[in-house]
Amino acid sequence: MDTSQYMSMFLEESMENLQTLNESLLELEQRPEDIDKLNEIFRVAHTIKGMAATMGFSQMAELTHKMEDVLSKFREGKLKVTEKVVTVLFRCLDTLEKMVNNISEGISEELSIEGIINDLHSMADGNETPEITPKENEIINDNDQITNSAIDLNEYDVNVVKQAKEKMFNAFEIKILISENTLLKAARAFLIFKSLEDYGEIIKSIPSAEDLENENFDFEINLIYITSKDKAEVIDILLNISEVEKVMVENVLVKNNEELATDKLGDFKAIENSRAPQIETVKNETSNEKNGLDKKEVAVHKKAHQSVRVELDRLDKFMNMVSELVIHRTRLEQISSNHKLTDLNETLEQVARATSELQELVMKIRMLPLEVVFNRFPRMIRDLSKELDKEMELVIQGQETEIDRTVIDEIGEPLLHLLRNAADHGVESRSERISKGKSPVGIIKLVAYAEGTKAIIKVIDDGAGLNVERIKAKANKVGINTEGMTDADIKNLIFAQGFSTNEKVTDISGRGVGMDVVKTKIAALGGTVDAISEIDKGTSFIIRLPLTLQIIQALLVKIGDETMAISLGYIDRVIDYKEELIKKTNNKEVIVYNESVIPLVRVNEKMEIETSDNTKKYIVIVKVGEKTVGLLVDTLLGQQEIVIKPLGKTLHGLKEYIGATILGDGLVTLILDVAALV
């Protein structure tokens, strides 16, 4: 079987499933009694195993299978969820992740898994904690017991059914007969499981899932199934699967001990005989639907797949085409105004509206919630907490904030560095925190929210804070002149290349390569990062990122004879330039505006562009992070929607520009990188 066409789907789904397992295991460690979470973990692990086996990755399937053995011991109550067990399971997930990465990069080397498998074996054999063997069908308390059924239910299953009943779910025992002419019984069983799991939870199956996979069964499957659907709907779901001959569905009942448990599921033969005619008619109805007599039900089933996976480069192409449309639209508007073609105005307005909606739509399609980046950090903080022997807790807020996919791909590494730094440098040891009168548990917060055209991400810790004197001393040592710098400027020196105040280099930090990576990456995304800190209160790193990187609103300005664009996202206000506004301090020009002192940047001098002194000039006040600066420009040309085009290899080294755009008159205009200027 050629599996290459399924490879990208396999890789993507495996990474998603491994991430789900990471999160669920963390939650299970906090709440060992959570049966729903345990079920979810079991189901996801089973999916990974099935997919790996189908794609022919036997080592991956074997490791997941051993993991399932340990998980099933949890379910049966023979093994307790302890930190040691969870740590081994995490090692297991890390190895599986390495395997998936190797597959995606085409590396064929096999990873050594004997150590982990031995650990899993010894746990599955019960060496980790004393075994607690539940008696089969044991009564949970004096009042409740479950009726006998064709499937033996242990204490765990009884518990699950009881919980389901309390939450107003239905518990059914299902018997399914597959046609004897079925060639791929395992595939049919997989379809049955998949269809049912879309609407509920299968808690037990006879034969077992493994026997079903290996086709070690005749044509009969018995299941215990929990769902919010009623009996008729479950029958309908199953009979819509081809090669399913007969379906029998009965309630699993929880009885009080005082009453006799007479309402048993009874003899399946009797049910089969009594239900057979009814089932046949249902079957006939479904075949009629296929002939187009009653389309209503079919429509319901077709609604299941309402999302579609799209490759990113297709979306990029789509975005580029929309960008081209925006350029041609502004070109048409320019021609129309030059030639005073009023007849065109209405049509152009319609085109403008349509392209704006199209552009908004493609932006939304490219947007992803920050959750896909954030969800890997709780596990990392747990591991660091153990490694550094510090107590800390990660609080995440606003992970539903959406941001452009390209930003999502790049933002993970800077956040990783900031969080590791907070854990290593920020949060103090337990004894140190107690001596300062703080809670022994350090809190690290990861907060995100949208603000106008920007996404704000904050990494906040309640640790020791940044020591200005230590940073100053280190700066002077490496030859950075700190004279005339404010405390805020000195704190931001930690982003300089190779700068670290840590005397001791550890695995976690201290080489000074983390913070400059953070700054460089975020600047490359058109964003800014600032450090705000107070001794013994903690440190906040504030990252500001553009929500999207392709089409922006900009102010067009003239500097000399050159037209340039400044993103509106940075602009606070524009004021008239007057000579008397300008003062000098520390040999630098500043303006006093609204009782605050704002540094002035003469853009023409920065860019070495000639300009005449007799034109009326303007000061564009821009805010970059915590800094406010005035940019001196010659003329304002108005606001326009522009498409950011990359500069290409030749001009790639120009740090003052983030890209170029094509204006309505066909003129190529450079877009100023305000953050770099400031």
DSSP states of 444-491: EEEEEEEETTEEEEEEEE-SS---HHHHHHHHHHTT---TT--HHHHH
CA-closest candidate to residue 643, choices 567, 557, 559, 561: 567
Q: What share of the chain is helix, strand, coil (3-state, %, to 5)?
A: 45, 25, 30
Q: What is the CATH number of the domain that holds 117?
A: 1.20.120.160
Does residue 135 lie in a domain region? no
- 555-583 per-position pLDDT tens digit: 999 888 888 999 888 888 898 888 878 88
**Helix H segments across 55-82?**
58-75
> Residue 395 has what pLDDT?
93
Q: Distance between CA 432 and CA 45 in Å, rounded?
A: 41
Lowest mean pLDDT among 90-94, 437-441, 505-509: 505-509
Residue that terminates a domain, selected from 324, 348, 368 = 368
> Residue 394 has what pLDDT?
92
Lowest mean pLDDT among 245-249, 259-263, 393-397, 519-523: 259-263
User: Is 114 labeled as catalytic in the residue annotation?
Assistant: no
In a shared domain, residues 645 and 519: no
Report helix, strand or coil for 355. Answer: helix
Q: Do 34 and 56 contact (CB within 8 A), yes or no?
A: no
Report helix, strand or coil for 356. Answer: helix
Q: Burial, 533: exposed, middle or buried (Cβ in 10 Å; 0-12, 13-18, 19+)? A: buried
> Residue 296 has what pLDDT?
39
DSSP sequence for 577-612: --GGGEEEETTEEEEEETTEEEEEEEHHHHTT----
Active-site entry in 17, 22, 170, 421: 421
pLDDT-derived band at 254 (thresholds 50, 70, 90) equals low
Mean pLDDT of 121-149: 47
> Residue 434 has what pLDDT?
92
Pick 260 or 620 by higher pLDDT.
620
Does residue 305 lie in a domain region? no
Radius of gyration (Cα) for the chain, nearest Å?
Answer: 32
Q: Is the pLDDT of residue 459 over 90?
A: yes
> Residue 320 has what pLDDT?
82
DSSP designation for 531: E
Q: What is the CATH number of the domain that holds 604?
A: 2.40.50.180
CA-closest candidate to residue 455, choices 401, 416, 521, 409: 401
pLDDT-derived band at 68 (thresholds 50, 70, 90) equals confident
CA-closest candidate to residue 646, choices 609, 673, 614: 673
Beta carbons within 8 Å of 380's beta carbon, 6+ residues apart: 416, 419, 420
In a shared domain, residues 360 and 493: no
Q: Is the pLDDT of residue 444 over 90?
A: yes
User: Is 421 labeled as catalytic in the residue annotation?
Assistant: yes
**Mean pLDDT computed over every residue of the chain:** 78
In a shared domain, residues 481 and 596: no
Q: Do 166 and 159 contact (CB within 8 A), yes or no?
A: no
User: Is 46 labeled as catalytic in the residue annotation?
Assistant: yes
Mean pLDDT of 165-189: 83
Q: Which domain holds residue 284?
A: 144-296
Active-site entry in 40, 68, 173, 250: 68
At residue 395, what is the residue type?
Answer: V
Does residue 360 lie in a domain region? yes
> Residue 302 has what pLDDT?
40
Mean pLDDT of 634-657: 79
pLDDT-derived band at 646 (thresholds 50, 70, 90) equals confident
CB-side neighbour CA atoms (13 Å) of 577: 21
> Residue 419 has what pLDDT?
92
Q: Do 546 and 643 contact (CB within 8 A), yes or no?
A: no
In a shared domain, residues 494 and 621: no
Q: Is the pLDDT of residue 652 over 80?
A: no
> Residue 2 has what pLDDT?
54
Q: Is the pLDDT of residue 63 over 70?
A: yes
Does residue 275 lie in a domain region? yes
Domain count, the chain: 5
In a shared domain, residues 176 and 281: yes
> Residue 297 has what pLDDT?
40
Q: What is the CATH number of the domain that holds 438?
A: 3.30.565.10
52: phi then psi, degrees, rounded to nearest 5: -65, -40
| Parallel, antiparallel or unpaired: strands 668-672 and 562-567 | parallel
At residue 295, what is the residue type?
Answer: K
> Residue 461 has what pLDDT?
93
Pick 156 or 544 by higher pLDDT.
544
In a shared domain, residues 523 and 445: yes
In a shared domain, residues 440 and 475: yes
Q: Do 564 and 636 contact (CB within 8 A), yes or no?
A: no
Residue that terminates a domain, selected from 261, 296, 331 = 296
In a shared domain, residues 270 and 152: yes
Q: Burial, 646: exposed, middle or buried (Cβ in 10 Å; 0-12, 13-18, 19+)? A: exposed
> Residue 140 has what pLDDT?
33
Lowest mean pLDDT among 271-275, 311-315, 416-420, 584-588: 271-275
C-alpha distances in Å from residue 299, one per residue of 22, 191, 294, 295, 305: 37, 19, 10, 6, 12
Pick 302 or 59 by higher pLDDT.
59
- 30-62 per-position pLDDT tens digit: 888 888 888 888 888 888 888 888 888 888 888
Does residue 304 lie in a domain region? no
> Residue 543 has what pLDDT?
92
In a shared domain, residues 494 and 594: no
Instruction: Assign 3-class secondary structure to 154-188.
Output: CHHHHHHHHHHHHCCCEEEEEEEEECCCCCCHHHH
C-alpha distances in Å from residue 585, one per residue of 481, 579, 580, 600, 623: 18, 15, 14, 11, 20
In a shared domain, residues 574 and 623: yes
Active-site entry in 22, 39, 40, 46: 46
